[in-house]
């Protein structure tokens, strides 16, 4: 059976997910030296199971161990825990410190600024007469928003995007040595930058997230400096790559389903349900992984202690046992308990922000350019975890 992670499946992994779900839903993938779960109920159960850990360091997995060994070269900060790869109580401590910036109330206060950024980006597109959804909207919008939250100056945004892209390129892809080394170099450079910013915020605090994290670190019972650095890098990388993919994948889905595109254009008030459906239909994060801390049986198969269980969020979101007509895009879908943002205690901290950015960006894009049309065949980034497009040029007139 073909691997769900093989390069030739990444342009459209959903037929492979369907085959696995129907024929071998708890499947051992030799290529990744671990299990893959594709049914909704199994994925949800694993994500909330107390004996499945998010800490990859507990894995007895050749692929993970090789990645951790390479990552260790990036210095002490690379060994620091983040909320994405830790369990309670560390996860609780780290998440609580950053969560105040991503509450519903905090994100709602950002909506006017997000709208302003979207309008400015689309003004630039209109002036030049061409549009690449990734490079003109999907990339700059979340980068500007998260950079402003972290207090990163405007002139540094492109550098931060480059660093983030280099780091993310090593997630979920069979990378070359050159790509791995570039990712390592960028991680070290980004850590050095944040170390400088942290020192500046100690001397002169600002109204930004880095200052809040530094204040927590200085209390002595919350964060180490290495954890502050690791958290900033996580927020920056996660805060831009995933939303870029949501906007890119979502726009492509609408262009390939013109009836839904026209419905959305005619009824922008559907933005909330439309964004939820786009997240379900082709979400920005395809999989997440857990490590078994004991032998755990799932549907007659045993995930042994130390083995990886890869939870295929995207496969679960097309499970017909959970969703009616799962391969059909329906922006009016009512019952939509998708897990594009994960499930349980590791549910995506930035989900409210990603939703707000998408709910503003899609209606603005469709309103401004009523004749959007796909130009050519899109090229995917080759990343089976953060699956998205390298570019998405479209006609706008």
- Spatial separation of the C-alpha atoms in residues 329 and 62, rounded to whole Å: 38
What are the extents of the domains in the chain?
A: 7-395
- Spatial separation of the C-alpha atoms in residues 363 and 310, rounded to whole Å: 34
> What is the C-alpha radius of gyration for the chain, rounded to an integer number of angstroms?
21
Per-residue confidence (pLDDT) for residue 253, from 0 to 100: 98
Q: Report which of 173, 167, 112, 172 is spatially closest to residue 145, judged by C-alpha positions.
A: 112
Per-residue confidence (pLDDT) for residue 373, from 0 to 100: 92
Q: Give helix then strand counts, H and E, for the chain.
A: 14, 12
**CB-CB contact of 135 with 121 (8 Å):** no
The phi and psi torsions of 91 (rounded to 5 degrees) equal -60, -45
161 has which bridge partners? none
Per-residue confidence (pLDDT) for residue 172, from 0 to 100: 55
- Spatial separation of the C-alpha atoms in residues 330 and 195, rounded to whole Å: 46
Q: Report which of 260, 255, 250 is spatially closest to residue 376, judged by C-alpha positions.
A: 255
Per-residue confidence (pLDDT) for residue 1, from 0 to 100: 59
Instruction: State the sign of the Cα–Cα–Cα–Cα dihedral 45, 47, 48, 51.
Output: positive
Question: What is residue 332's DSSP assignment?
Answer: T
pTM of the model as a whole: 0.91
CATH homologous superfamily of 7-395 equals Cytochrome P450 (1.10.630.10)
- Spatial separation of the C-alpha atoms in residues 159 and 166, rounded to whole Å: 11
Per-residue confidence (pLDDT) for residue 166, from 0 to 100: 83
Q: Report which of 75, 239, 252, 266 is spatially closest to residue 168, judged by C-alpha positions.
A: 239
| Residue found by looking up tokens 């007659």 in the block | 300
**CB-CB contact of 80 with 227 (8 Å):** yes
- Spatial separation of the C-alpha atoms in residues 112 and 101, rounded to whole Å: 16
Three-state DSSP state, 238: helix
Per-residue confidence (pLDDT) for residue 67, from 0 to 100: 60
**CB-CB contact of 336 with 276 (8 Å):** yes
Q: What is the pLDDT of residues 100-125, one digit of tens each?
A: 778 888 899 999 999 999 999 999 99
- Number of CB atoms found within 10 A of residue 50's CB: 11
If you count them, how many residues does the chain have? 397
- Spatial separation of the C-alpha atoms in residues 106 and 352, rounded to whole Å: 9
Residue 307 vs residues 55, 76, 172: alpha-carbon distances, Å: 12, 26, 17
| Residue found by looking up tokens 């090593």 in the block | 170
Q: What is the pLDDT of residues 70-95, one digit of tens each?
A: 555 545 555 667 888 899 988 988 88
Could you say which residues of the chain have pLDDT below 70?
Answer: 1-2, 4, 62-80, 170-176, 217-222
């Amino acid at each position: 059976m073909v691997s769900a992670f093989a390069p030739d499946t990444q342009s459209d992994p959903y037929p492979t997910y369907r085959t696995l779900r129907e024929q071998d839903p708890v499947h051992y993938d030799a290529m990744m030296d671990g299990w893959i779960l594709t049914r909704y109920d199994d994925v949800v159960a694993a994500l909330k199971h107390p004996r499945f850990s998010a800490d990859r360091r507990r894995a007895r997995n050749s692929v993970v161990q090789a990645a951790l060994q390479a990552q260790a070269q990036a210095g002490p900060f690379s060994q620091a825990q983040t909320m994405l790869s830790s369990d309670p109580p560390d996860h609780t401590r780290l998440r609580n410190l950053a969560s105040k910036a991503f509450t519903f109330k905090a994100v709602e206060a950002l909506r006017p600024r997000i709208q302003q950024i979207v309008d400015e980006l689309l003004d630039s597109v209109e002036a030049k007469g061409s549009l690449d959804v990734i490079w003109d909207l999907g990339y700059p919008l979340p980068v500007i928003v998260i950079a402003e939250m972290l207090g990163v100056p405007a002139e540094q945004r492109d550098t931060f995007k480059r660093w983030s892209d280099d780091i993310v390129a090593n997630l979920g892809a069979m990378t070359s040595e050159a790509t791995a080394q570039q990712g390592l170099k960028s991680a070290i450079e980004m850590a050095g930058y944040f170390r400088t910013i942290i020192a500046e915020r100690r001397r002169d605090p600002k109204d930004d997230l880095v200052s809040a994290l530094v204040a927590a670190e200085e209390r002595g019972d919350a964060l180490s400096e290495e954890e502050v650095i690791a958290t900033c890098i996580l927020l920056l990388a996660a805060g831009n790559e995933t939303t870029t993919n949501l906007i890119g994948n979502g726009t492509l889905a609408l262009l390939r389903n013109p009836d839904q595109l026209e419905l959305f254009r005619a009824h922008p008030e559907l933005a909330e349900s439309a964004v939820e459906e786009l997240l379900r239909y082709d979400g920005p994060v395809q999989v997440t992984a857990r490590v078994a801390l004991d032998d755990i049986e799932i549907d007659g198969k045993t995930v042994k202690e130390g083995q990886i269980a890869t939870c295929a969020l995207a496969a679960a979101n097309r499970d017909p046992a959970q969703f009616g007509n799962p391969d059909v895009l329906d922006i009016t879908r009512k019952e939509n308990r998708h897990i594009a943002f994960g499930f349980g205690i590791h549910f995506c901290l930035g989900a409210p922000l990603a939703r707000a950015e998408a709910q503003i960006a899609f209606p603005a894009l469709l309103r401004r350019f009523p004749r959007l049309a796909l130009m050519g065949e899109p090229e995917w980034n080759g990343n089976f975890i953060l699956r998205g497009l390298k570019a998405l040029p479209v006609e706008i007139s």
